[in-house]
Structure formats: C-alpha cells, structure tokens
Chains A and B, each alone.
Chain A
Amino acid sequence: MKKFINKTDDVLVESLSGFAAAHSDLVSLHLDPNFITRKNKAVNKVAIVSGGGSGHEPLHAGYIGYGMLDAACPGHVFTSPTPDQMLMAAEAVHADKGILFIVKNYAGDVMNFEMAAEMLPFESATIYTSDDCAVINSTYTNGRRGVAGTVIVEKCVGSLAETGANLQDCKILGDKVNSHTASIGVALTSCTVPAAGRPTFDLSENEIEMGVGIHGEPGRRRETMRDADAIISDCVDAILSDFKVRDFNVANQEALLLINGFGATPLMELYLIYNTAAKLFKQHTIQISRSLVGNYTTALDMAGASVTLCLLDDEIKSHWDSPVHTATLRLGM
C-alpha cells in the first residue's frame, strides 16, 4: 500500500479536518461524533441530512451548502455512520420543518439511519437511493444499490427544500428523481481500504469488473478488458434495458448524463467515456441536455467509472439548474 497516510487510525479525522479547513467559508466540522454542517444554519426549511461510509469523497460532505445538504455524517471507510452521528447532526441543523435523510440503499446504511429515525425527536422522512442497475436478479439482493445518482437526488431535493417546500413534497421529489435515474459502474482495478492495507479484491491486468459497486464489491460479471467503446456500449445497454424493464419510454427523452470517476481514472478518460456514451444515447434518440463529468462518487483509489443517466422532466430540470453553492458543485452563485 502506497498512500498519503500518517497513521491509518487518523486518516478519517485528518481528512475531515482538511476538508473543513479548505472550505471554512461553507462548512463546520464537529468531532466525536463526527458530522459536518453548513457554516450558516438555514432557517425554516426541511433540513437535509445525508451520510455514508467514507472513501466516496466528495460524497457527501462536498455537497453541503446552499441548494443541497444541510449536514453529512461520514462513517469509517466504507462503513455506515452510526445513529448517534445522525441524531447530533439532525439536532444541529433542524430548522422547524423536519429532517429528510438521504440514504444510499445498502443494508448497513439503511439499518443505522432507520435506528436514528426511530430515536429522533423530530418529524423525519427518508429517501433511499437505488440507481445502480448492475445487479440483474432482484430476488438475490437487498434491492438496488445507491451510487452516483445520489448526487442528482441530493441536488434536486436540496433545491426544492430551499423554496420552503414541506417534508412530504421533498420526499416525493427525491423518490421521483431516484426512479428517473439509472447507473452502472466498471472497475479496472480494485481499491485499498487504508486500515486493511491491501486491495479489497483481485483483478488481473486484463480483467474488468462489470457492474462494480462503489465499495469494490463485485458486480454482474468479470470480463476481459476490451476497447472503451465496447465497454461503454454494454453500460449504455444496461441502462437502457433497465429503463425499459421499469416501463420508462426513453425515446426523444431529455436527459442528464453523468460520467463519474471512481478515484484513479483521469479526466481525460472520463471525457472519452462521455464522448462514447453521449453518441450511443443519441443513437437511441435520447437528447443529452445536461452533463456532469468528474469524480463525484468515488471508491478510494479504484480505477474505473460509472455511467448515470437521469431522465429529465421540467420539474427535475429546473431543480438541477437552480443555484447551488457547495465545495464540489457551484452553479449560478
């Protein structure tokens, strides 16, 4: 393992401290239990609290700020945060209109946020994101996993919450954006959890993991490495057939295309992927009118990328376009 580390036990707190220092105009860091809030507490709005294992940066703390999250709870690397973090964060940001949790649909995250919601003294609702269409047979799963599409859900719901909308309406929009979104990821390498010190799984030089999750957990199948066009074509097909199975008509549909890097794939390749994916979606008459390319939901030092398509309607589009000011996304302000 070759990483910028002092002591493995200190990686998380040192990284959080650096994040808070670098963005001290936007966020405040609270330690033990660990959570991050907006620097200036919002008033009279639904407070949006997200969280999850660390190692996916900039998810979620990078999306704290006007137009997105009110707080984020970072767990240990690839491990869900604990209910005490969510309770303290909720208390800190509660602004009289209830707490909305945005949770990626992984068993650990679901259970910890569930227990937090049960113990919470405020009204709350929870959006479970489940955009990953990699896992085919749904009878063998806990349900689909929440991956990079979570960023789009957080952006749109965050935008609606700023208008003073109530908890129920925010939850409805979040569920809608989630259902309009499908993602699939491909890993070219494994990743190394600092405390483990060695790669989570073995992937040889000429192999790729199709449908990988954001923790390096294996996906659909292992394949031989091929040209980018061939790999991305499979990703696009997976997304299109997912929408088809779920009865979405994608013909002539306006959409947002997100190409997300997992941490160790250069932007040069991410744009190459965008080029291919956009062309292929266009062949299926999908109009890509919004785009996002970069490292938005990572898996430590994994090389690889995910393709996310979000079908836009007027409501989702307006919330995607609205002003936002966070460490990672800044539009119109």
Chain B
Amino acid sequence: MKTEFIIDAAKVILQTIIANENTLESLDRAIGDGDHYINMKRGAHIIVEISADLALLKPEEALHKIGLKLLSTIGGASGPLFASFFMSMAKVLASQAHENEILEENGNESYLKIAAAFAGGVQAIIQRGKADIGEKTMLDVLIPVSNQFVLLATQNCGFKAICATLIQTAELGMLSTKDLIATKGRAAGLGERAIGHIDPGAKSCQLMIEAVCNLALERAD
C-alpha cells in the first residue's frame, strides 16, 4: 500500500460521505442523535486537508498521523474508534516481521499485509468499544469484512475478486443491522424500537469500504 493510495482513499471517502448526507442523516435521526454525518464529514475533511503533509510520510506513518488527527477532530464515539483503527493499522504495518513470514509462504504479499493491518485495526475497535458482532454497530460490517479479507488474501484470491467480495460482505453486514436490537452505541436505549432501522455507523463503514474497493479496482485497470 502506498501513501498516495491512502490519500486518494481519504478523498473518495469524503466524496462518498458528502454524497450520502441524506441517507446518513435520516438513519441517525431514526435511532441516533443526529450528529453522525457531521462527525464523519468533519473527520474525512480534516484528513483531506492535511494530505500534503501526509504525502511526505511512509504509509504506516501516514496512518498513524491520520489516527491522531481523527482523535483530536471527530469527538463522540466515532473519534476514538476510528483513531484506534488507524493507529493500530499503522502499528501492524510497522511491525510486519510475523506477517512477512506468512507472506513468503503464500507469495500474495501486499494484500495479506493490508488484510493483516485491517484486521489489527478492527481488533482495536472491538477493544476500545467493548463491542462485538451482532450489537448493531459498525462492527457488523467491519468484522465480516476483516475476516473475509484475511481469508481471501491467505487463499491467494485475485485482487479483483477480493474487492468484489468485500463490497458484497460489507453490504450484507450493513443490512444485517436492520433486524438487530442495539446493545452498544447511542441506539442501545431504544430496545426493540431500533428493529427495522439500519445502524448509521454500519452504513457509513459500508459506504467507505465500497468507495475504497472501487478506487482500488479503478487503479488495477
């Protein structure tokens, strides 16, 4: 993964968030407190704003800086969660010793590196948020995507197939939150009233994964 790709990913994420303002706002009004879109936009915006600084850094340094910047910019629950994700991702990328061994065996180097870093990031969200799959949060998208990513990368799956599958997995995960009762996050007070509504955090994660996968697919062509 190159720093240039990270910066371009931040740009498409910002575009995607802005393009989905109405969707995110109406989901958050239904079962949240109305600040999700604003926070996501603020976070994506600040990363695009510092992209010139990021361009000078190695990928792992850039991801760490993104984490710190999000931590001091977003606030709410999303701030520490996304910050933990990127800082952890950076940590895994920086210490690839163990992964490199697996990589040599499999030969599918860069995808597996990225998959391992992504999985490390998701693990950090699980720990910081003390949440798991099935609690009607962003993790209902991130955990299946992370598992699928690692699996496909270890299986030497082709790059395009990986992206296509991850887009699909994210979509299914996002849709799965519709029928769940929330046990974590702002919707947790609603009990059964949250049933029938997609979790806004899961939706924005699905949108971001889709956007970044599509960007990667474009680049591959």
Contact = CB atoms under 8 A, between A and B. Distances in A.
A6 interface: no
Nearest to B137: A107
B191 interface: yes
A79 B190 CA distance: 19
Contacts of A219: 189
Contact of B80 (A112, A140, A200, A211): A112
B75 A107 contact: no
B99 interface: no
Interface in B119-137: 128-129
A112 B189 contact: no
Contacts of B185: 107, 142
Interface stretch (B4-12, B33-41, B89-97): B33-41
Chain B contact surface mostly: helix
Contacts of B83: 115
A215 interface: yes
Chain A contact surface mostly: loop
Interface residues of A, number: 40
A218 B193 contact: yes
Interface residues of B, number: 38
Given A108-B76, A140-B188, A196 B183 contact: no
A82 B75 contact: yes
Contacts of A114: 80
A108 B129 CA distance: 9
Contacts of B58: none
Given A111-B129, A218-B189, A80 B76 contact: yes
Contacts, number: 121
A278 B35 CA distance: 36
B23 to A, nearest CB: 14
B184 interface: yes
B57 to A, nearest CB: 20
Contacts of A75: 75-76
A142 B182 CA distance: 10
Contacts of A77: 35
A211 B190 CA distance: 10
Contacts of A33: 72
A78 B74 contact: no
A77 B181 CA distance: 26
B73 A82 contact: yes
8 contacts: A33-B72, A79-B76, A107-B129, A108-B77, A112-B79, A135-B191, A136-B191, A213-B33
